[in-house]
Chain A
Amino acid sequence: MTNLIALLSGLIFGLGLILGGMANPAKVLAFLDVAGAWDPSLALVMAGAAGVASLAFTAARRRDRSYLGAKMQIPASRLIDKRLVLGSLAFGIGWGMAGICPGPALVLLGSGSAKGMVFVGAMLLGMGVFAMLEKGRAGRRSGPVQTGDAQPVDRPDDSRARRKTGNE
Chain B
Amino acid sequence: MFIDWNQFTPWSALVGGAMIGLAAALLVLFNGRIAGISGIVGGMFTRAKGDLGWRVAFVSGLVAAPLAWQFFQELPLIRIDASYAVLAAAGLIVGIGTRYGSGCTSGHGVCGISRGSPRSVVATLIFMSIGMLTVYLTRHVFQS
Contacts and interface: CB of A to CB of B under 8 A. Distances in A.
Interaction A to B: yes
A23 to B, nearest CB: 6
B115 A57 contact: yes
For A7, A56, A71, A107, the residue with the greatest tally of chain B CB atoms inside 10 Å of its CB is A56
Nearest to B91: A122
B30 A67 contact: yes
A103 to B, nearest CB: 4
Given A52-B21, A86-B101, A110-B67, A97 B30 contact: no
Contacts of A119: 87-88, 90-91, 94
Given A24-B76, A92-B127, A56 B57 contact: no
Interface in B86-116: 86-116
Interface residues of A, number: 126
Contacts of B15: 19-20, 48
B144 to A, nearest CB: 14
A105 B104 CA distance: 12
B57 to A, nearest CB: 4
Contacts of B107: 156
A70 B32 contact: yes
Interface residues of B, number: 119
A30 B4 contact: yes
Given A41-B13, A49-B21, A103-B106, A15 B135 contact: no
A136 B76 CA distance: 43
B65 A110 contact: yes
A7 B104 contact: no
A127 to B, nearest CB: 4
A97 B114 CA distance: 27
Nearest to B128: A92
For B27, B67, B140, the residue with the greatest tally of chain A CB atoms inside 10 Å of its CB is B27
26 contacts: A12-B23, A13-B106, A16-B21, A17-B65, A19-B15, A21-B12, A26-B77, A35-B136, A36-B139, A38-B2, A42-B13, A48-B16, A48-B20, A61-B115, A89-B126, A91-B94, A92-B129, A96-B133, A100-B90, A101-B104, A103-B62, A110-B63, A110-B64, A124-B95, A130-B96, A158-B47
Q: Which 9 A-B pairs have the closest CB atoms?
A: A87-B101, A126-B95, A14-B65, A48-B17, A20-B16, A10-B61, A96-B134, A52-B21, A92-B130
Given A50-B21, A130-B45, 6 more contacts: A9-B26, A13-B20, A14-B66, A30-B4, A103-B105, A130-B96
